[in-house]
Amino acid sequence: MARQRGLRFPDGFLWGTASSSYQCEGGNTNNQWYRWEQRGQILTGEQCGEACDWWENAEDDFALAEQMEHNALRLSLEWSRIEPAEGQWDSAPLDRYRAMLTDLRHRHIKPIVTLHHFTDPLWFTDRGGFEDEANIRYFVRYVTRAVQSLQDLCDFWVTINEPNIYAFMGYVLGSFPPGEHDTTRAIHVLRNLMQAHVEAFYAIRRLQPQSEIGYCLHYHILDPANELSPLDRSVAGIQDTFFTWAAIRAAETGHFTFPLNLLLPPIPHAPGSRDYHGVNYYTREMVRFDPTRPAEVFGRRFVHPNTVRNDPGKGVDFGEIYPYGIYRVLKSLYHRTRGNKPIYITENGFSDAQDDRRPRAILEHLAMIHRAISEGIPVSGYLYWTLVDNFEWAEGWGVRFGLVELDPETQDRIPRSSASMFGEICRANAITEEIVERYAPKALDFIFRATNGAAQQVTV
Ligand code: BGC
């Protein structure tokens, strides 16, 4: 036992990683992403294939998480396995999920289960997917079935991962299926996903009154390129509203903000339909007024020059590493929702194959979260994206977010230095000066100054 300067996190804080079925399981051939991939739409031309082989061997990676003393792990269920054709249910996948969740619990790792992480069964896509409000009932029926089967093993549910990314990437930028460029359809899809969340929330609540239920949104900082330009400021503000805060407001009140409310009907029973706020935060972008971009409400986004960056993808620039952004997001969310629910960081991660920026990035983001907590914002957990390098949607295998490096050909794993650092933080429930000195000494000043004197003596 030694005493040293550090930032201690609240007792019971959840520490772990997040992942999704398609990106990790392997062998998923019955959803719209597989079809997309078969059509050669992945920018590298790669295929997900066996992914991280979790369908066979997830437990080996869960053992790594246990060694790192994680106490939580977020994974998703693959709807297209559980209901491979409309109204046909397969019990074998549910047995496999039961085995995974049981294994996690034996390792004292709390399972956090996402019910929808970007993938839809093909039959659902062919019926119009979330473009059609009438299809929400299929999602709720699947959720009910899945929760009935797994509720003795899980009491923490994420209904839908990032409705805003699903709508924006699929229907505005077109880099996710169905590859559309149609802003009106995008906002209808966003609305239907929010309604799907609300209905799923009540379906789960009825089955499992004590569970924690919410959804995660992607929070993206959008700053005006020129603070002094009213046009830059207003397009950045409009993009920010469309991308993030409109969905939050709809979930809180059932109503979309003007002018979206002119197009989108209210969502019944929305107020109160979640137990926590799930925050996925990665980066910020700058926005400049650009009259040639009507689909993006006349804003051209770009990465702030001269900043520390993630490794780029082939199509997406994963952008700036901007720790202060997570603090800004937490403050903003807390104030806009009047601090009404606990907050979990359900994803935060960095693509860095060499692992030469990740340790510092993790430390600085955690320091910013700690600052938010010390100012009274109720953050209750942090899930790093992701445990093992996995198949990155439109980008394939090229970008590496894992704490553990994966060779998808051989399935060999090599833990990165970040893995042991994060393990030490989880074990200590704190960032200590000694950890920072060993893994990212250049972060010392930022960590202990930017947290406004919240450092204390901690025993580890
Ligand atoms: C998604 C993950 C994805 C990550 C990195 C998040 O928006 O939920 O599935 O891998 O970003 O791009």
What is the CA(218)–ligand 1 centre distance, in A? 9
347 lines ligand 1 (CB under 6 A): yes
Residue 451 confidence (pLDDT) = 65
Residue 454 confidence (pLDDT) = 67
Residue 84 confidence (pLDDT) = 98
Q: CA 286, CA 304: separation in Å to the nearest integer?
A: 6
Return the residue whose CA atom lies nearest to atom 7 of ligand 1: 218
161 lines ligand 1 (CB under 6 A): yes
Eight-state DSSP code of residue 361: H
> Between 246-253 and 323-336, two packed helices, what is the crossing angle to 10 degrees?
30
For the chain, list residues with pLDDT below 70: 1, 451-454
Atom of ligand 1 nearest to the CA of 386: 10
Q: CA 176, CA 180: separation in Å to the nearest integer?
A: 8
Q: Count CB atoms within 10 A of the CB of residue 290.
A: 17
19 lines ligand 1 (CB under 6 A): no
Residue 449 confidence (pLDDT) = 78
Residue 453 confidence (pLDDT) = 62
What is the CA(395)–ligand 1 centre distance, in A? 11
Q: CA 170, CA 379: separation in Å to the nearest integer?
A: 30
Output phi, psi for 132, to 5 deg. -110, 115
Atom of ligand 1 nearest to the CA of 401: 5
395 lines ligand 1 (CB under 6 A): no
Pocket test for ligand 1, best of 392, 397, 399, 406 (most atoms within 8 A of CB): 392
Residue 226 confidence (pLDDT) = 97
> Between 136-150 and 91-106, two packed helices, what is the crossing angle to 10 degrees?
50
pTM score, two decimals?
0.97
What is the CA(456)–ligand 1 centre distance, in A? 34
404 lines ligand 1 (CB under 6 A): no
For residue range 139-150, list pLDDT tens digits in order: 999 999 999 999
